Amino acid sequence: MIRGLYTSAAGMLAESARNDVAANNLANVNTTGYKKDAAVFKSFPEMLIQRMEKPDNPAQLKPEKVGWLGTGVIVDEVITIHTQGQLKETTNPLDMAISGDGYFVIQTPAGERYTRNGAFTLDSEGYLVTSEGNYVLGQRGRIRIGNNDIVVDKQGNISANGQVIDTLRIVSFNDPNRLVKQGDSLFAGGQPVAGFNGQIMQKALETSNVNPVQEMVDLITIMRAYEANQKMIQAHDQTLGQAINDVARFK
């Protein structure tokens, strides 16, 4: 009976964590380049239940197996889904999107980071930066555009007045699951590989890969599972209370 309380409590904690993940996905449905997260559950070891009384058949030496008993679940990890979001056209020549694999390389105070958010702008010195003021890196380092009108081709070459200023530094990863979110649509970690198989799209941005309808359905499912575990705890509590009263009455 007590085991049932712990199993239901573990289920409530797991669903609460999954609810936080889904809510965060919904909060970032309009965040450019955002990649949704998913909670992965892991079950606790199951217990083998066997019949312990004397078997009806004396020749049966081993206890009869009744079955397996689950002991609850826990959130094993939260993974990031790196599927591409939809590309939408804009009128800003500094907006860029990657169609296919690849990440822009960004210089931050904490080191190089990677992003799919191509909503870039210029700082006071004419350098290409993110909305947070971090430098966008090219093959030659920081990219200084100044007051020039630029054209970006599909290979990431940035041209002004017919001259190539620099080429966007784009990297890809053999295992994107090793990337760790750093906030502001930035990632760290992994083993970057130079080059990419995609194309650069100027005057375009990649939207979040969150499906709001699916997230709402998930939230309803999570709430139902949470309430079911809650009712199980209430049922166990009532049964325990009845058992305590019965023991006290017959003592």
127 lies in the same domain as 200: yes
Is 67 a residue whose pLDDT tops 90? no
131 lies in the same domain as 92: yes
Print the domain residue range for 43: 2-80+210-250
Total structural domains within the chain: 2
Instruction: Give backbone dihedrals phi and psi of 83, rounded to 5 degrees, phi first.
Output: -65, 150
Single-letter residue type at 145: I
Place of tokens 């969150």: 210
Is 38 a residue whose pLDDT tops 90? yes
In terms of pLDDT, which residue wins out, 112 or 232? 112
120 lies in the same domain as 97: yes
127 lies in the same domain as 186: yes
Domain boundary among 172, 190, 206: 206
Instruction: Quote the pTM value.
Output: 0.78
What confidence category does residue 7 fall into, taking pLDDT thresholds of 50, 70 and 90? confident
Is 64 a residue whose pLDDT tops 90? no
What would the pLDDT profile of 189-227 be if each residue is shown by its tens digit? 888 887 788 899 999 999 999 999 999 999 999 999 999
Q: What residues are paired with 99 via a beta bridge?
A: 199
Residues 6+ apart with CB under 8 A from 130: 106, 115, 117, 119, 120, 121, 136, 184
The token pair at 143 is 């990219």
How much is the pLDDT for 61? 58
In terms of pLDDT, which residue wins out, 237 or 22? 22
How much is the pLDDT for 66? 65
Measured distance CA(49)–CA(54) in Å, rounded: 15
What average pLDDT does range 156-179 have in this prediction? Answer: 91
What average pLDDT does range 38-48 have in this prediction? Answer: 76
61 lies in the same domain as 144: no
91 lies in the same domain as 200: yes
